[in-house]
Structure 1
Amino acid sequence: MIRILLAEPMNLLRGALALALSTEEDFAVVAELRCLDEAALDIARASTPDVAVVNVELLTGDGLSLLNRLSVERPHCAILVLAGPDAPGRLHRALDVHVRGVVGTQATPGELVHGIRQLVRGERVIDAGLAVALVATPRSPLSARELDVLSVAASGLPSAEVAAKLHLTAGTVRNYISVILHKTGARNRLEAVRVAESAGWLT
């Protein structure tokens, strides 16, 4: 029996995916999560899935870190990410944390089932359309924490408020911003945000 964990923020879609996968005689959906947090990691540990199917929208900030921890703690659990063509930045980061499969959100249930079976056999699964988007998009030079800082700073908040939201000091945020400007070649925060958004590093 192939044990599957689903992590999808939309209740309706999560339920539909669970129903579709459960029709396969050798599939068992052992956990359904709407987010990736510490509680989700505990559920993943307890449910011992063979495959984790995760929506790319959950791979921001702590979600990406938790997915990385899952891959380290359960190396035999294959991770498959569901993504649209408009999320190449997140896909690049996902592939850095041992994700072995990427399937497009436009895929049919049959294609998803086939992808899961390929992962269980130890094969890599990369959606052709998404592979083209990945090649066409430059990889982000920013770390996950730098992207967090830039994402919050994009709202126009001063450094002190960005620091409060991210539980950092204002000086640390200013240092991050300085590094971000250097890496992106931008003259100010607004320009750095534009560079990151146009490259798909921020969503």
Structure 2
Amino acid sequence: MTTALERPPGQRVMTHRFPPAESAVTGSTRVLLVDGHHLFRSGLGALLDREEDLAVVAEAAGGEEAAAAAARVRPAVTVLGLDPEQPDGPVAARQVQQAAPGTAVLLLVPALPRTAELRRALVEGAAGVLLKDVQAPALIAAVRELARDGRVYDPRLVLDVVRAGQAGPLSRRELAVLGEIAEGSTVREAAAALSLSPGTVRNYVSAAIAKTRARNRCDAIRIARECGWL
């Protein structure tokens, strides 16, 4: 945890098991925190509660618990931290939004997703997506922006989504050959499946490696998958 999330000496730990008194949040943006790690959640709660215009009204450890809390406290913004063991952010975001229509979901992800499909799903399923190592001022600004019906995405995520939507350099045949090999087929098996000669399959593989500037066929498959071409 970065020093930006450390609690000042003597500050009381806030668990937010129940919403604070209504007078404490009048005029403030109501925030629901969701994360499987209590220490991270507590630190984030302490950070946001320092801001006069933000009020953490509930905490949850997972998607179902978050949906129940959202229905109860009706947050304006839900900050939803994802873990590698629980990567399905779009599903959790939809659960919260269905429970409390109108809440804006800010996903905090441990790393940018590797597949183009998941990157697009994150952008479509949440009002904001940032890395978990985001600096404190940027996170606070993001919560405020979402409360104003804005959108906040990590620039790298947006760039990847745009690139993934663009046509790749590989031909349909080259992609078909890489797809067969990615599924575990040998050159001869791929040739039989695609009604090609083994030599032609090898030529398509070589062309794919050259176009993607890959080291080998496995590297070409990896690049094609990460770019959303395969």
Name which of 82, 96, 99 aligns with 2:124: 96
Tell me the amino acid that sits aligned with residue 95 of structure 1: V
CA distance 1:64–1:123, change in 2 (3 Å): closer
1:110 aligns with 2:110: no
1:55 aligns with 2:81: yes
Q: CA deviation at 1:80?
A: 0.7
3-state DSSP of counterpart to 2:63: coil
Q: CA deviation at 1:11?
A: 1.8
8 Å CA contact retained: 1:5, 1:44: yes
1:33 aligns with 2:27: no
Tell me the amino acid that sits aligned with residue 50 of structure 1: A
User: Which protein is bigger by CA-based radius of gyration?
Assistant: 2
Map 1:169-180 to 2 at 5 A. Answer: none
1:155 paired residue number = none
Instruction: Return the TM-score normalized by structure 1.
Output: 0.61
1:70 aligns with 2:89: no
8 Å CA contact retained: 2:70, 2:100: no
CA distance 1:138–1:4, change in 2 (3 Å): same
CA distance 1:70–1:196, change in 2 (3 Å): farther
1:22 aligns with 2:49: yes
Residue-by-residue CA offset, 1:99-125 (whole Å, 9 max, x unaligned): 111122221111111011111112111
Q: Mind listing any 5+ residue stretches in structure 1 that lack a counterpart? A: 140-181
8 Å CA contact retained: 1:56, 1:91: no
1:122 paired residue number = 149
CA distance 1:107–1:40, change in 2 (3 Å): closer
Tell me the amino acid that sits aligned with residue 185 of structure 1: G
CA distance 1:24–1:190, change in 2 (3 Å): farther
Using the alignment, how far apart are the partners of 2:51 and 2:224 within structure 1?
40
Q: Mind listing any 5+ residue stretches in structure 2 that lack a counterpart? A: 1-27, 167-175, 186-220
1:81 aligns with 2:107: yes
CA distance 1:106–1:129, change in 2 (3 Å): farther
Among all aligned residue pairs of Structure 1 and Structure 2, give the percentage whose two residues are the same amino acid.
24
3-state DSSP of counterpart to 1:79: strand
2:159 paired residue number = 132
8 Å CA contact retained: 2:32, 2:58: yes
Q: CA deviation at 1:26?
A: 1.6
Tell me the amino acid that sits aligned with residue 123 of structure 2: L
Residue-by-residue CA offset, 1:26-56 (whole Å, 9 max, x unaligned): 211112122112x331121001110011123
8 Å CA contact retained: 2:59, 2:66: no
CA distance 1:91–1:71, change in 2 (3 Å): farther
Using the alignment, how far apart are the partners of 1:66 and 1:105 within structure 2?
17
Instruction: Return the TM-score normalized by structure 2.
Output: 0.55
